[in-house]
Chain A
Amino acid sequence: MAILEVQNVGKWFGSTEVLRDISFVLEKGETLAVIGSSGSGKTTLLRGLNFLERLDTGRIILRGETLFDAARNQDDEQSLREKRLHFGLVFQSFNLFPQYTALENIVLARELAARKLQSYKKNKKSVLDEIRREGMELLDQMGLSAKRDYYPHQLSGGQQQRVAIARALALKPDILCFDEPTSALDPELTGEVLNVIRGLSEKNTTMIIVTHEMPFARQVADTVLFMDGGLVVEYGSPQDVLENPLNDRTKRFLERYANE
């Protein structure tokens, strides 16, 4: 069974249709790269999956269970929050919390969530210690253990983005989404972030990556989805979509990138 099925998803902003009839399937452990020019609806799609925007049509099915159905009434805050936790989101502009250190950024949400646990009431210290230990492991995995007590403004963009990735991973999402994770970075810093994502892909993390880095998409993606004007124009293996595109729009888009 696919871990994620997105069926006929659509979204309007006022009278503008930004997503139309988007469908795709993601298998566990696979990486989906979403490409397309700006304004094509890629970010809105990710925001829809993360319940930051309410989609107007379609369904989101997670492990065979309907997580979202536009035909149903809107979820209340509480269930919306639980559903969000199936997805992690790494933002283009990192959005770390400036008043917390790298480690605190990673553990904050888990510490707050832990308060509801039965074991927390009994043994607060061991629960918090475990969360911090896992947080340190993640920092280590990002190659940032030495930056544990640094505040975001003391870190480079690439380091901040790596902390943001660790922060998203800390909640153990089923699917980790990236919204152009290197677009806000200086070119010399994109490599370190892409390497981390590549590492996650090798460990079979299920991911959806919106990106403009075509060589990277070719390398890590199991499936590529090309969007234009809110539509899925082409959807298939990286070889098919990126090397032998069928659609003229895909060809023109890829040529523009090849020429850059």
Chain B
Amino acid sequence: MADFWKITFDLLNGFQTTFLIWALTLVFALPLGLVISFGSMSKFTPLRYLVKTFVWIIRGIPLMLQIFIIFYVPGFIFGAPVASRFTSAIIAFTINYACYFSEIYRGGIESISRSQYEAGQVLGMTKPQVFFRVILLQVIKRITAPMSNEVITLVKDTALVRVIMVVEIIKVAEDIATTGLIWPLFYTGLYYLMFVGMLTLLFGYIERRLDYFKA
């Protein structure tokens, strides 16, 4: 029984890293995705193609490979490796998820009728005012469901960081498994389930909060 509590606590420690990667990735990737989506909708054709090519590459190769690249390549080429394993992981996840988010944002933004922009324009509103006061909330309402998918997928993708030896919950459990104790590995699933359960409730709440209008 003492074992059980100790392992529960060790796994919780591992899950802290999982949570931190998840949270930091969101903090950086949510706004970066918006910048990328503006780039992919730019009227300046070279920029638009540049951004679209970048998104194609990032979505086209495995996240695991991107983690390796961010961790090893700067060291090979510039002789200046990224400061830490953890930082490399955050950079790789941020870039990867920002690209996925950018496509969701783009879909949401482009789905808003041009007449909403024009209605704001004829009322003398500035372009940023139209975007932030009129368009944005309608976009948020429309992308809540696809975003919840990505945010939940991210929770589980964090397990990939073990490839550059960042120790998150599954790595902790695996290390325990090498001592002959296998059940903690399966026990980790419960942590994910609990956390994703909370996220599901949160997204349900957001959807209900935005239910007051139709768009």
Contacts and interface: CB of A to CB of B under 8 A. Distances in A.
Contacts of B137: 99
A258 B214 CA distance: 39
A52 B118 CA distance: 7
Contacts of A87: 122
B124 A99 contact: no
Interface stretch (A24-32, A78-86, A139-147, A227-235): A78-86
Contacts of B125: 81, 108-109, 112
Nearest to A80: B121
Interface residues of A, number: 27
Interface stretch (B7-15, B35-43, B100-108, B127-135): B127-135
A50 B133 CA distance: 21
Contacts of A85: 124
A10 interface: no
A7 to B, nearest CB: 22
Interface string A78-122: 000110110111010101111100000000110011000000000
A153 interface: yes
A81 B124 contact: yes
Interface string A219-241: 00000000000000000000000
B133 A108 contact: yes
A235 B120 CA distance: 32
Interface in A149-174: 151-153, 167-168, 171
Contacts of B119: 91, 95-97
B144 interface: no
B115 A91 contact: yes
Chain B contact residues, majority secondary structure: helix
B121 A52 contact: yes
A130 B115 CA distance: 29
Contact of A167 (B118, B123, B138): B123
B193 interface: no
Interface string B106-119: 00000001011011
B126 interface: yes
A188 interface: no
A157 B213 CA distance: 16
A77 interface: yes
A167 B120 CA distance: 11
Given A95-B116, A98-B138, A52 B122 contact: yes
A98 B215 contact: yes
Contact of B213 (A82, A91, A151, A168): A151
Contact of B122 (A82, A89, A112, A151): A89
Contacts of B113: 95
B212 interface: yes
A112 B137 CA distance: 17
Interface string B172-215: 00000000000000000000000000000000000000001111
Contact of B215 (A50, A81, A99): A99
Contacts of B116: 95, 97
Given A84-B122, A98-B215, A112 B129 contact: yes
Given A95-B118, A98-B213, A98-B214, 11 more contacts: A82-B124, A84-B121, A88-B122, A91-B119, A97-B116, A97-B120, A99-B212, A108-B125, A109-B120, A109-B125, A171-B124
Q: Across chains A and B, which 9 residue pairs bring their CB atoms closest together, nearest first?
A: A109-B123, A95-B119, A153-B214, A89-B122, A98-B215, A99-B213, A95-B115, A85-B124, A98-B213
